[in-house]
């Protein structure tokens, strides 16, 4: 059974940093693309960043480029999102999602972790 | 960026009704279109991928069709557990983008 569990969310001041983690199990993590998708309170879904399964290629939305860094530790089956220079508009539930065979289709999601950026 | 629009933004229907949600892409995305269901307080779930393929475990009352810029999600017989918000998403070009969602309620 595929399981994803995010952690690391919380309250942070504007300009601050936070690192999210996503622990994965139930599939071959090392060869699977993984992504972060966020949802601001009461709003829709926004793709944030993807780490490819092979080759180590990363992709990020323009809204977070230069501030957020996606990484992974295949030995720990864990995906990360390092967030710096946080803004109020980054407030959202952040979901870790497993990409299907083809990147861009999220067949399994974690329950999410809330990041609240506020002074 | 490819813009995704959905209609209606919300709907209310009776149990057993046939419900159709429309998704439009601002550019040709071939069949690179997915549908997700999000129930209140929960993470989204994949319903349909590649326009028309049901994800594992998804009831057969859900179906999808379309191509290029126009797509539909149909629930053939609405059930109480189908309440929630439905999102379409394109993955033809980065950045992957989602529609604004369609909220489905039971009348």
CB contacts of B4 in chain A (<8 Å) are none
By C-alpha distance, the chain A residue nearest B6 is: A44
Report pLDDT for A85.
98
CA nearest to B86, candidates B72, B99, B75, B102: B102
Per-residue pLDDT of chain A (119 residues; tens, 9 = 90+): 999 999 999 999 999 999 999 999 999 999 899 999 999 999 999 999 999 887 789 999 999 999 999 999 999 999 999 999 999 999 999 999 999 977 799 999 999 999 999 99
Task: Classify the C-alpha dihedral A87-A109-A22-A100 as positive or negative.
Answer: negative
For B96, the closest of A44, A104, A107 (CB atoms) is: A104
Give the three-class secondary structure for B81.
helix
Distance in Å from the first CA to the final CA of chain A: 40
Pair of tokens at residue A8: 């690391």
Interface contact A105-B100, CB threshold 8 A: no
Give the closest of A44, A102, A111 to B101, CB-based. A44
- Write the pLDDT tens digit of every residue in B2-19: 999 999 999 999 999 999
- CB-CB under 8 Å, A109 with B96: no
HSE on the CB side for A52, CA within 13 Å?
7
Could you report the per-residue pLDDT of B51-81, keeping only the tens digit for each?
Answer: 999 999 999 999 999 999 999 999 999 999 9
Q: Compute the C-alpha angle A49/A55/A61, nearest 5°.
A: 15
């Amino acid at each position: 059974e595929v399981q994803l569990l995010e952690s690391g969310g919380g309250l942070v001041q504007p300009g601050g940093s936070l690192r999210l983690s996503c622990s994965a199990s139930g599939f071959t993590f090392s060869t699977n693309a993984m992504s972060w998708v966020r949802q601001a309170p009461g709003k829709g879904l926004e793709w944030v960043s993807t780490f490819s399964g092979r080759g180590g290629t990363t992709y990020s939305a323009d809204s977070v480029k230069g501030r957020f860094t996606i990484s992974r530790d295949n030995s720990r089956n864990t995906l990360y999102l390092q967030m710096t220079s946080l803004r109020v508009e980054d407030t959202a539930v952040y979901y870790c999602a497993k990409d299907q065979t083809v990147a861009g289709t999220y067949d399994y999601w974690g329950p999410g972790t809330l990041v609240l950026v506020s002074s | 960026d490819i813009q995704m629009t959905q209609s209606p933004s919300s709907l209310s229907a009776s149990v057993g009704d046939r419900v159709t949600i429309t998704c439009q892409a601002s550019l040709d995305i071939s069949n690179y279109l997915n549908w997700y269901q999000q129930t209140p307080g929960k993470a989204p779930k994949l319903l349909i991928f590649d326009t028309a393929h049901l994800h594992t475990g998804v009831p057969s009352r859900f179906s999808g069709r379309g191509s290029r810029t126009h797509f539909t999600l149909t629930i053939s017989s609405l059930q109480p557990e189908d309440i929630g918000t439905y999102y379409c998403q394109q993955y033809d070009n980065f950045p992957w983008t989602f529609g604004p969602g369609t909220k489905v309620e039971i009348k």
